[in-house]
Structure 1
Amino acid sequence: MSLVDATIYATHLVFAGLWSGTVLFTSYAVLPAALNGDLRAGALEAMTGKLRTVSRASALLLLLTGGHLAATIYTAESLFATGRGHLVLTMVALWFTLAALVEVGAAKLVDGTEQQKVRQPAADARPFLLGASLVAVLLLVDAGAILGLYY
């Protein structure tokens, strides 16, 4: 493996972990605090802004690095005809799903913060962020399965 490929692979893994961790932390810590009314609207909006930044940056970097890895490791035939290729395609579908769930959840989370509301926006965002958390875990499991088939 070349230094460039190793750097791209490491970047891919770091941002996959960062994105998953940020989504899980939001669901585990931020969302319950907002549901309990323990957060001010400004704090909730700021935390949601960080979630969006990490999500968007990670999505872009994962698209770029994953595209490079897929192009150097797979052919069209191996993507569609092998178990490992199917796992990669599943990862792409989960990646799009995660990005969509985070965007919708984040939008709902800040709805009403200008009126100093936190509980109702958190309740509205909850199903989307819990779904995003499930997808984040599934992405990590999928990545582990891909690596398990590689080694």
Structure 2
Amino acid sequence: MVLDTVMRTLHTVVGGLWVGSVVFVAGAVLPSAVDGAIDAAPLETIADRLVYLSRGASVVMLLTGGHLAGTGYTVGSLTGSSRGHLVLAMLVLWLVFTALVEIGRSRLVDGLQEKRVRTPAAEVTTLFRVAAVVGLLLLVDAGLLSSGIVLY
């Protein structure tokens, strides 16, 4: 019981921090870069830290989410219940979210290495905004699971 509580808490906190960091980059950092308020070096540092956070969070989410799914669900309940469908949807959203952050960071850094800022930032802004929306959907999914509203 204590282990499940620790896993659930860690899963929720890390997920919230991860999504929040992507929302911040999409909503504040990249628009500032497009406006020319951020130079290439600091933006590359932010992008690198974001991807390290994303990779670390991915590992934590895989381990904690795997534990929670393994102890709380069977294959039948994952595929045959509304809560199970929410868990599977979370898995798909998690994979999409991770891919969008990785792709966005890679494209951004490629442009920044040419000492350009505005164009690469503008080109990845939509990608990061989509990632932010996917992240918010992850949080909504988590809220539905943790609220107990969806029972079957």
TM-score after normalising by structure 1: 0.95
Per-residue Cα deviation, 1:6-63 (whole angstroms, up to 9, x for no partner): 1111111111001100000001111101111111100000000111011111111000
Which letter maps to 2:103? V
Give the 5 Å matches for 1:123-142.
123-142=122-141
The number of residues matched between the two structures is 150
Aligned to 1:100: 99
Q: Structure 1 CA distance, aligned partners of 2:34 and 2:116?
A: 10
CA contact (8 A) 1:108 1:122 kept: no
Q: Which aligned segments of 4 or more residues in structure 1 are displaced greater than 4 angstroms?
A: none
Residues 37 and 118 in structure 1, CA contact (< 8 A), matched pair in contact too = yes
SS at match of 1:117: coil
> How far does residue 118 in structure 1 lie from its aligned partner after superposition?
0.6
Distance 1:87 1:67 in 2: 14
CA RMSD between the two structures? 1.2
Percent of pairs identical after alignment? Answer: 44
Partner of 1:34: 33
Q: How does the TM-score come out when normalised to structure 2?
A: 0.95
1:73 is aligned to 72
Structure 2 counterpart of 1:104, which letter? I
| In structure 1, C-alpha distance between the alignment counterparts of 2:113 and 2:90, rounded to whole Å | 36
Task: Give the whole-Å Cα distance in 1 for the aligned partners of 2:75 and 2:111.
Answer: 46
Q: How far apart in 2 are the matches of 1:133 and 1:122?
A: 15
Q: Secondary structure at the match of 2:113?
A: helix
Unaligned runs of 5+ in 2: none
Which residues of structure 1 form unaligned runs of 5+? none
Q: Distance in 1 between matches of 2:110 and 2:84?
A: 40
